[in-house]
Amino acid sequence: MEKVPTRLNVAPVPPDEIFALNGAFFADTHPQKVSLGVGVYRTDDGKPWPLPAVEKAEKQLAEENDLMRHEYTAIEGDVPFLKIARDIMFGFEGKPSEEAAKARIASVQTVAGTGANHLGALFLAHHMKPRNVWLSNPSWANHMTIWELAGVPRKTYPYYHAATRSFDFDGMMATLENDAEEGDAVLLHACAHNPTGLDPNKEQWIAIADLCERKKLFPFFDSAYQGFASGSLEEDAWAVRYFFENKPDMEMCVAQSFSKNMGLYGQRTGAFHYITNRSATSIRDVIVNNLCHLIRGEFSMGPRIGCTIVKKIMSSEELTADWHNDLQVMSSRIKSMREALYNELVRLKTPGTWEHIVEQNGMFSYTGLTPKQVYALKDKYHVYLLKSGRASISGLSQKNVPYVAQAIDDVVRNVL
C-alpha cells in the first residue's frame, strides 16, 4: 500500500515531568517507594483526603437531588460561585462600602487554576499585547508552556539564590528595574511559591508593588494555595489584597484555584479575576464579555460540580467553619513534616545546611539536591522527586521520614 504523506508538521515534545514521574512511581513495586513528586495532599498514611467539609457538602447535595445539577450554566460560569470566589480572594464581607471596590473586578469561571492562567495569558495577548511576560527563575513549569502557547515572549527574573537557598529579592528587583519595559506582564506567586516554597515578606511585597506601579508593569498573580499554605485565607492573600487596596490606579489580574484548598483536584474549579483601575470600572462588563468570547470558543463554560460544592460550603456557617478547620489540618501536617525531615537530617549530621526546609512555605521544598542525587534517590531508594530537587512535602509521613532522610544522607555523602 502506498504511504500517504501527512500534512502535519509535528515533532515529539518532552513528556510532562510530573505526570511521567507519577506514572513511574505507580509502576514501581518496591515496598518502600515514596512519592515526593506530584503536588497533591496526602494523609500520614499516604492516602488521598477528601476534605470532611467537602464530604458533608456532597452528602447534602445528593439528598437535595437538584434536577438542574447537570445543566448548563452561563458562559462566564456560575454567577453565585464567582461572587463567593471573589470575596474569598479579596476579603469582601458584604459591606455596602465595598461596592465601589467590587465594581473594579471582572470575574469568570475557569477550568481550575491552570485554565485561569491560560485564559488570562490569552486575554492579555489579544487585548494588552505585552512585549514580554516576566516569570520567576525557577517557576512552575506549566507557566512557560501557557505563555508560549499564548504567543507572548518570556523572560525571567532571578528568584532563587542557590548558595544560600533563599529568595533572591535583590536580584529580582534589579532585573525588573533595569530590564522590564512599560506594559510588560510580571507573573507573581501569591503565596507558597512553586517550586521553591520561598515567598517575599510583607516589606518586600510592598517594594514589588511600588516597582510595578512606578514602571507601569502589569502584575499577574497566580493564587493556587490560598489557605492551604498557612492555614489562613487572609495571610495567604495578603499580597493580592495589598496590591488591590493600595494601588487602585494599577490594573492587575488573579488566577484562582480551589484544587489545593478544597481538595478539588479532579473537579477543575477555578476563577479568573481582572481588576481595572478605579477610573475604568465602566469597562468591567466589556472585559467579561471579551473573556466570554474566548471561553465560548474553547470550553463554553466552567465545570459545574466543583463550583456547586464551593457554594454549598460557603453558604453554611457550619460547613465554612469545618472548611477552615480542614485548612488548619492540612497546613499543620505539612509544617510538621518539614520539621520532622529537618530534625532527622540534623540527627544524621547530613552534610550541608537544611534550615531552608523549615523556612520554606507550602506544599513544596526546593531541597538543593542535584539532578544526579535525585536520580540516585529514585534508582537506589525508590524515592521520587523532580530533577530540580523539588519535593512535595505532602508525600512524607511519620513512617517514611526516617527512610527518606537516610536516603538523602546517603546520596549527599556519596553522589556529587
Rounded CA-CA distance 137/163 in Å is 15
Instruction: Write out the E strands in 71-214.
Output: 105-111, 133-137, 154-158, 160-161, 166-167, 185-189
Instruction: Write out the E strands in 237-363.
Output: 252-257, 269-275
Q: How confident is the model at residue 333 (pLDDT cuts 50, 70, 90)?
A: very high
234-271 pLDDT, tens digit per residue, is 999 999 999 999 999 999 999 999 999 999 999 999 99
Mean local confidence (pLDDT), 377-405:
95
Class of domain 72-315: alpha beta
Mean local confidence (pLDDT), 347-357:
95
Q: Where in the chain do CATH 3.40.640.10 domains reside?
A: 72-315
pLDDT for residue 7 is more than 90: no
198-216 pLDDT, tens digit per residue, is 999 999 999 999 999 999 9
Cα 300 → chain centroid: 24
Q: Which of 93-97, 297-301, 325-329, 371-375 has the lowest mean pLDDT?
A: 93-97
pLDDT for residue 95 is more than 90: no
The percent of residues above 90 in pLDDT, for the chain, comes to 92
Phi, psi of 127 (to 5 degrees): -115, -15
Mean local confidence (pLDDT), 368-391:
95
153-195 pLDDT, tens digit per residue, is 999 999 999 989 999 999 999 999 999 999 999 999 999 999 9
Mean local confidence (pLDDT), 54-66:
97
Q: Where in the chain do CATH 3.90.1150.10 domains reside?
A: 17-50+330-414
pLDDT for residue 1 is more than 70: no
Distances (CA, A) of 225 to 85, 239, 318, 322, 412: 13, 13, 22, 18, 31
β-pairing verdict for 185-189 and 133-137: parallel
pLDDT for residue 5 is more than 80: no
pLDDT for residue 416 is more than 90: no
Mean local confidence (pLDDT), 379-393:
94
Mean local confidence (pLDDT), 353-358:
94
Fold of 17-50+330-414: Aspartate Aminotransferase, domain 1 (3.90.1150)
pLDDT for residue 88 is more than 90: yes
Q: How confident is the model at residue 233 (pLDDT cuts 50, 70, 90)?
A: very high
Distances (CA, A) of 14 to 9, 153, 372: 16, 20, 19
Q: Which residues are catalytic?
A: 140, 222, 260
pLDDT for residue 36 is more than 80: yes
pLDDT at 380: 95
pLDDT for residue 15 is more than 90: no
pLDDT at 257: 98
Mean local confidence (pLDDT), 346-372:
94
